[in-house]
Amino acid sequence: MATLADLLDSSEAKLAAIEAHLDALDAGARIAECRALGRKQLTRLWELAAPSLALDDLVPAAAMEGEKVEFAGKNSLPVFTHFEKHFTRHGGAIVGINVGATAFATGPGYFTCDTTSERPGEVRFDYTRVPSSAPQGWPVPRSNASGLSYFVYRDMHDYNRRVSKDVVIGAATRLGTPIDAYYVLARKA
């Protein structure tokens, strides 16, 4: 059976086939296949994905305030490529944090999720909008414009597209300029 990487490496790659493949996998296999992707495959997945993501695709409208939704991720950076993003509804917004090996130094990397009229069908993770309080059980929010966070999350906006029911592809920008960094997120449960 073809893997997600195999599908993306094909010159005839189609989003419909990728979506069907991912939707047929259980969470563990879906995460493993997403985390096996390389830089070229992540870029290709971004190019194939159509803007059709909504905020409720990340955290369902029926989710209670503070209910956590976890995604496992893989990015195109040269190191520290595995991470997680956790999301919840908090104070009338959907907020998220980054969880990974570098969080002790860079901080939780809080962001607020929204949509913009300039990029319909994409969900933006806005690292310039940090919540003033933490959801219950989450780390204390801190600015992304100071400390080591400055080098990682400062002035950053990630734009995200739907790949399948439980998979999202994202592209990072800084000050509105793409930085040639991509990541895939796969829902954990």
Q: Where are the domains of the chain?
A: 4-187
Q: How does pLDDT run across 17-27, given as a tens digit for each residue?
A: 999 999 999 99
Q: Counting Cβ atoms within 10 Å, is residue 143 exposed (0-12), middle (13-18) or buried (19+)?
A: middle
The reported pLDDT for the residue numbered 108 is 93
Q: Identify the segments of the chain with pLDDT beneath 70.
A: none
**Phi and psi of 97, rounded to 5°?**
-140, 160
The reported pLDDT for the residue numbered 80 is 87
